[in-house]
């Protein structure tokens, strides 16, 4: 690293080393977490580095040390100098470090089960079983066991330090369920994350044939994909009916069939639909979630920095399509326009023409339903026609993105044609 006059880099010798880190400002408990090697720290994310960092994690994450922290740092500002004032004692208990290491393992295993983890390998519901319900039952059991083990371990650590500091009259070792930091299984959350994983498979971000990230930029390796072949053009349209062959609803159905088998497809789709909630057939429920709920969930998971971008014409759902930012090309907008917007415009016109003929030929009792659909399609066609002009303008500009600029900067370049992030 180059040296700049007047620039101060304290503790440079500690950069990129493994240790225990904590947030300097928190309204919750004072808690230390493992900082793997290869990371930096600053005044807001401070770190304890040295041979005893596991021991320090075991000490400082107990209720005894929270009690002391509340006395010494009542403002909830956990500065390094104040943290150093907390008493430290070497623990002779031979099982102490092994408990700490197990807690780290349990917490990391939980975190790595979700796609936001750098070490995410495969969705926990993707298992060699034919029934999705069985996969969820197995995952639920694993989560419960991990939860109970971590809770028992934390209570044992609490007990050790309550005894050491003679705080039996002030504290009890019990840990409330809400304070255990690993998650229990939640059916709806797991199913939504499975759908997100399926979307990732169709983009090539993940693969059912390899663990971890299959593609996040760089050189494309087609040998990673056998069970599911990602879409070639990096576009996943989301329609409110089966207008397009690559409609995302159909692809999610295909994913379920490939992951669990054709024989149990209907049962598994019903399991997904029941978890999501809503009215209609399983496919209708899935379609409704993809249209109205998926992107909001995606933006929430990625803290308003989505990796999948949603092309959207507006509230009428005239046009919606996802693209994967790591596969973005300067021709992506043009592809969306010519291969999808134009195609869907034509489908709407065809449907409206058929409806016009049907309305004139059906009984009066059926006309109300058909006219409602006609009004809906007319509104969607009007919306997509206006949208096409906006897309056309940006398509002609052939705008590329630089991944190093991050989501916020790049997303703003296409704000007129992408879903607003709320």
Distances (CA, A) of 180 to 110, 113, 149, 240, 405: 12, 17, 10, 41, 37
Contact partners, residue 219, CB within 8 Å, separation at least 6: none
**Sole residue written with tokens 């929430």:** 300
Task: Supply 35's token pair.
Answer: 């900082």
pLDDT digits (tens, 9 = 90+) for 325-354: 999 999 999 999 999 999 999 999 999 999
**CA–CA gap between residue 58 and residue 69 (Å, rounded):** 15
Dist. CA 406–CA 32, nearest whole Å: 28
Alpha carbon 3 to chain centroid distance?
Answer: 39
Over residues 34-62, the mean pLDDT reads: 77
Residue 254 · residue 195 · CB < 8 Å: no
pLDDT of residue 4: 43
User: Using one digit for the tens of pLDDT, what is the confidence trace for 375-392?
Assistant: 999 999 999 999 999 999
Distances (CA, A) of 76 to 20, 47, 82, 88, 171: 18, 17, 11, 20, 20
187-203 helix and 265-276 helix, angle to the nearest 10 degrees: 120
- Signed CA dihedral, 410, 413, 414, 415: sign only: positive
Q: Is the pLDDT of residue 254 over 80?
A: yes
What percent of the chain is modeled with pLDDT above 90?
A: 69
Nearest-angstrom CA–CA distance, 376 and 374: 5
Interatomic CA distance for residues 399 and 330, integer angstroms = 5
* Torsion (CA) 261, 266, 269, 270 in degrees, nearest 10: -140
pLDDT mean across residues, the chain = 90
pLDDT of residue 43: 63
Q: How many residues does the chain have?
A: 422
Q: Give the confidence band of 234 by pLDDT, cuts at 50, 70, 90.
A: very high
pLDDT in tens, 347-376: 999 999 999 888 877 777 778 888 899 999
Packed helices 63-72 and 53-60: angle between N→C axes, nearest 10 degrees: 80
For the chain, first and last CA: distance in Å? 39
What band does 28 get if pLDDT is binned at 50, 70 and 90? low
Domain boundaries, the chain: 18-179, 187-412
Query: What would the two tokens of residue 311 be?
Result: 């092309």
Instruction: Reduce the DSSP state of residue 301 to 3 states and report it.
Output: helix
Q: Which burial class, exposed, middle or buried, applies to 269 when counting CB atoms under 10 A from its CB (0-12, 13-18, 19+)?
A: buried
The distance of Cα 7 from the centroid of its chain, to the nearest Å, equals: 38
Q: Which of 173, 138, 139, 145 is nearest to 62 (CA)?
A: 173
Structure confidence by residue, pLDDT tens digits, 78-95: 677 767 777 777 777 778
């Amino acid at each position: 690293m180059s040296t700049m006059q007047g620039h101060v880099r304290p503790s440079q010798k500690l950069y990129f080393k493994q240790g225990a880190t904590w947030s300097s400002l928190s309204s919750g408990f004072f808690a230390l977490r493992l900082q793997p090697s290869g990371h930096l720290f600053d005044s807001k994310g401070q770190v304890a580095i040295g041979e005893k960092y596991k021991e320090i994690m075991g000490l400082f994450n107990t209720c005894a040390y929270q009690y002391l922290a509340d006395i010494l740092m009542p403002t909830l500002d956990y500065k390094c100098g104040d943290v150093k004032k907390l008493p430290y004692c070497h623990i002779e208990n031979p099982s102490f470090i092994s408990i700490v290491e197990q807690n780290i393992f349990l917490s990391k295993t939980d975190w790595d089960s979700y796609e936001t983890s750098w070490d995410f390998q495969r969705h926990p519901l993707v298992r060699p079983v034919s029934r999705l319900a069985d996969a969820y039952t197995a995952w639920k059991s694993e989560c419960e066991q991990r939860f109970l083990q971590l809770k028992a371990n934390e209570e044992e650590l609490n007990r050790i330090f309550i005894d050491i500091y003679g705080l039996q009259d002030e504290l009890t070792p019990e840990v409330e369920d809400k304070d255990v930091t690993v998650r229990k299984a939640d059916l709806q959350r797991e199913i939504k994350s499975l759908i997100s994983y399926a979307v990732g498979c169709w983009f090539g971000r993940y693969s059912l044939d390899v663990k971890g990230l299959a593609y996040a930029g760089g050189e494309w390796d087609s040998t990673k994909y056998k069970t599911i072949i990602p879409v070639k053009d990096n576009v996943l349209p989301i329609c409110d009916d089966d207008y397009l062959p690559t409609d995302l609803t159909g692809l999610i159905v295909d994913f379920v069939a490939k992951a669990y088998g054709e024989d149990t497809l209907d049962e598994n789709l019903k399991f997904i639909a029941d978890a999501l909630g809503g009215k209609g057939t399983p496919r209708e429920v899935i379609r409704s979630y993809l249209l109205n709920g998926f992107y909001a969930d995606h933006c929430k998971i990625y803290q308003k920095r989505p990796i999948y971008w949603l092309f959207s014409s507006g509230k009428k759902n005239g046009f919606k399509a996802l693209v994967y930012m790591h596969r973005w090309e300067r021709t992506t907008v043009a592809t969306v326009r010519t291969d999808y917007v134009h195609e869907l415009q034509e489908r709407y016109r065809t449907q409206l023409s058929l409806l016009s003929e049907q309305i004139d030929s059906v009984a009066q009792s059926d006309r109300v339903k058909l006219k409602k659909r006609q009004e809906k399609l007319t509104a969607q066609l009007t919306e997509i026609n206006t949208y096409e002009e906006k897309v056309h303008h940006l398509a002609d500009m052939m705008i590329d993105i630089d991944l190093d600029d991050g989501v916020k900067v790049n997303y703003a370049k296409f704000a007129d044609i992408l879903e607003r992030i709320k």
